[in-house]
Chains A and B, each alone.
Chain A
Amino acid sequence: MLKWSVVGVVYVLALILLWVYSGQEGMQNRGFVVAGYGLTWGALLWYAFRLESRGRTTARAVESFEVAGAGD
Chain B
Amino acid sequence: MGPRTTVEKTLGILALLSMLVGSYVGLVVVPADAAQGDVQRLMYVHVPAAWLAFMAFFIVFVMSVLYLIQRDARWDRVAASSAEIGVVFTVVTLLLGMMWGKPTWGVFWTWDPRLTTTAILLAIYVGYGALRSFADDEEKRARWSAIVGVIGFANVPIVYMSVTWWRTLHQPPSSPRSVAPDILWTLMLNLAAFTLVYAYLMVRRIRLAKLDGELEKRMAYNA
Contact = CB atoms under 8 A, between A and B. Distances in A.
**B38, B49, B219 — most chain A CB neighbours (10 Å):** B38
Interface string A14-58: 000010011000011110110111011101100110011011101
A6 interface: no
A29 B212 CA distance: 44
B125 to A, nearest CB: 14
Interface stretch (B39-47, B128-136, B177-185): B39-47
Contacts of B49: 40
Contacts of A65: 215, 218-219, 222
A36 B211 CA distance: 34
Contact of A32 (B42, B205, B219, B222): B42
* B interface majority secondary structure: helix
A48 to B, nearest CB: 6
A59 interface: yes
A39 B89 CA distance: 11
B218 A62 contact: yes
Given A18-B27, A39-B95, A40-B96, A32 B39 contact: yes
Contacts of A68: 222
B21 to A, nearest CB: 13
A37 B23 contact: yes
Contacts of A40: 45, 49, 92, 96
Given A37-B45, A39-B99, A55 B207 contact: yes
A51 B205 contact: yes
Contacts of B201: 44, 47-48, 51
B140 interface: no
Contacts of B91: 43
Interface of B: 1-2, 19, 23, 26-28, 32, 37-39, 41-42, 45-46, 49, 85, 88, 91-92, 95-96, 99-100, 102-103, 197, 200-201, 204-205, 207-208, 211-212, 214-215, 218-219, 222
The 5 closest A-B pairs by CB, nearest first: A55-B1, A36-B99, A65-B218, A29-B39, A28-B37
Given A29-B37, A58-B208, 16 more contacts: A22-B38, A28-B32, A29-B38, A32-B42, A32-B99, A32-B102, A32-B103, A36-B96, A36-B99, A40-B45, A40-B49, A44-B88, A51-B1, A52-B1, A55-B1, A58-B211
